[in-house]
Amino acid sequence: MKIFASCMECLKELGHPSFEPIFANYYDEPVAYIECDRGHKSALMLQSQKFEVLLESAANALIEGYTLEAASTLSSAYERFFEFSIKVLCSKQGVNEKEFNNTFKDVSRQSERQLGGFLFLYLLEFGESYALDKKLIEFRNKIIHKGYIPTPDEVAKFGEKVYSQIYQITQKLKSSCEEHIQKVVMADLLERNSKLPSNMPRATSTGTIFFSLSHAE
């Protein structure tokens, strides 16, 4: 994945942006390492959650015509969003972060168990069941387990449904768990920050454009 960045160290030295365009790479850990023409090295930490990055990647894949990759990445984004929602809802229930991590290890490789956990936490928080779209699951299984290669139109419709589901749940979470959304995002950001060399300059970015928690109003 790529992100456009500028050198903050140049800004400090020059008193204005250097206007040097920098396209930096980032991967599973959403941290981009930057080196400008003046030799400054720094890190740009994305505030984006995993599901946001995957949605962005899926959109890029579809634009490039890679329908299978786009569909499978959309499926992963949908699953990672449930993981994020579980974190937020558990935080709302006062679950200790360490104990959450210890428990989540037992379901981290089993998406169906994660979905089950989300469904009951959703019921507990909102007093109503989440209407799971079975067609999304069927299409996902067709892609992942049967290797079906979808058409661009099929992926676009699938993506629209996934995006809509994520957006709707995000709105409900924001209505009752806004503080805990921020808490989960900040905990992730602090963890990324702790892994950087202590002497490395760093900055943050909201990151993704296709879907952003901070802009999903």
pLDDT digits (tens, 9 = 90+) for 103-149: 999 999 999 999 999 999 999 999 999 999 999 999 999 999 999 99
Q: Stretch 153-171: mean pLDDT, rounded?
A: 96
The reported pLDDT for the residue numbered 213 is 82
CATH 1.20.120 residue ranges for the chain: 50-184
pLDDT at 216 over 80: no
H helices, E strands: number in the chain: 7, 5
Q: What percent of the chain has pLDDT over 90?
A: 77
Residue 90 has pLDDT above 90, yes or no: yes
**93 neighbors 183 (Cβ within 8 angstroms):** no
Which residue type occupies 99?
Answer: E
Query: Are the CB atoms for 150 and 14 separated by under 8 Å?
Result: no
CATH of region 50-184: 1.20.120
DSSP letters, 120-165, are: HHHHHHHSS-----HHHHHHHHHHHHH-----HHHHHHHHHHHHHH
**pLDDT at residue 168 above 70?**
yes
pLDDT of residue 11 exceeding 90, the answer is: no
For residue 86, the model assigns a pLDDT of 98
Looking at residue 52, what is its pLDDT?
Answer: 94
pLDDT for res 56: 94
Sign of the alpha-carbon torsion through 43, 45, 46, 49: positive
Strands 202-205 vs 41-46: parallel, antiparallel or unpaired? parallel
Q: Are 58 and 30 in contact (CB under 8 A)?
A: no
Q: Would you place residue 50 in the very low, low, confident or very high pLDDT band (cuts 50, 70, 90)?
A: very high
Model-level pTM greater than 0.95? no
Could you tell me the pLDDT band of residue 211, with boundaries at 50, 70 and 90?
confident
Selection from 9, 207, 167 nearest residue 77 by Cα: 167
Range in 33-42, 48-57, 109-118, 205-214 with the lowest mean pLDDT: 205-214
